[in-house]
């Protein structure tokens, strides 16, 4: 073997390696991206679910917004107050007061309480029911369709369909809002975790129609409104709404509701 040839090859490879190393070193310096230490610390404090419930594209997007002051320190619905306090400490600000929220399905018209117009056989996706007669087989056009599109999008396994109606496990729910966004009937909303009572109906049909379609429908009778000592209940479009900033959790609205459309939030 020609020793000179081997040495030449080694020198050539070494020279190429040295050139590449120097080039990469210069490039790293020239194109170095400055890292915001606060942003990195905030990102570490976030839970890392990347659910998008904060309104930003994942945890990294929220971390960048918080570091720039474009988002509040308690913007993460999954981390809640504990994470908000950690981030507030990182940012050197006082922790803002936050209210834990949870999703609630405003319907209890299950297979035993609702009437049907026809039998549906097709794609079991609530979003597809917009293309079938009356928006679904259930007589109530405001009710839960029961095909679990909300279940599919929930990243926390906090919502399930039981007897034709979606129900939320408020202990598992992180209030990311994905189920709220995907429900084509707009039945799901975020309410305070500590709320004692909730209106479990979204029907805006007049009393006679609502009563015919569902045995637990709100008929807009206003007994809940008239008897609420805190004036926390309003009725609009034949449907009751509770103002949780006023509600004292006395339960009078549920007691007076003749249709049992106001329920305990548990």
Question: In 3D, which of 234, 75, 209, 68 has the Cα closest to residue 140?
Answer: 209
Which pLDDT score is estimated for 130? 76
The low-confidence residues of the chain, meaning pLDDT below 70, are 1-2, 4-7, 9-14, 16-21, 23-25, 27-35
What single-letter DSSP state applies at residue 216? T
**What structural domains and CATH numbers belong to the chain?**
37-91 (1.10.15.40), 100-194 (3.30.70.20), 196-266 (3.30.70.20)
Question: In 3D, which of 238, 118, 129 has the Cα closest to residue 184?
Answer: 129
* Residue linked to tokens 């045995």: 215
Question: In DSSP terms, which residues pair with 159 in a beta bridge?
Answer: 168
Contact 235/256 with Cβ under 8 angstroms? no
Which pLDDT score is estimated for 168? 98
Which pLDDT score is estimated for 55? 84
């Amino acid at each position: 073997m020609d020793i000179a040839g081997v040495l030449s090859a080694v020198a050539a490879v070494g020279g190429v390696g040295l050139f590449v190393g120097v080039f990469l070193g210069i490039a790293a310096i020239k194109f170095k991206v400055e890292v915001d230490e606060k942003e990195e610390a905030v990102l570490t404090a976030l839970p890392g679910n990347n659910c998008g419930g904060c309104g930003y594209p994942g945890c990294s997007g929220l971390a960048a917004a918080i570091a720039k002051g474009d988002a509040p320190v308690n913007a993460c619905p999954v981390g809640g107050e504990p994470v908000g306090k950690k981030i507030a400490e990182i940012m050197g600000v006082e922790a803002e007061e936050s209210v834990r929220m949870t999703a609630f399905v405003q319907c209890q018209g299950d297979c035993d309480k609702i009437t049907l117009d026809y039998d549906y056989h097709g794609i079991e996706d609530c979003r597809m029911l917009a293309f079938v007669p009356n928006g679904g087989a259930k007589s109530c056009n405001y009710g839960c369709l029961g095909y679990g599109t909300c279940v599919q999008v929930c990243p926390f396994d906090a919502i399930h369909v039981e007897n034709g109606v979606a129900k939320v496990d408020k202990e598992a729910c992180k209030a990311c809002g994905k189920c709220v966004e995907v429900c084509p009937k707009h039945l799901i909303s975020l309410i305070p975790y500590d709320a004692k009572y909730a209106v479990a109906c979204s029907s805006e049909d007049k009393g006679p129609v609502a009563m015919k379609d569902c045995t637990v429908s709100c008929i807009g009778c206003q007994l809940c409104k008239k008897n609420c000592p805190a004036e926390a209940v309003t009725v609009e479009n034949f449907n009751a709404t509770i103002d949780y900033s006023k509600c004292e959790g006395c339960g009078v609205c549920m007691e007076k509701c003749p249709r049992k459309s106001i329920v305990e939030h548990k």
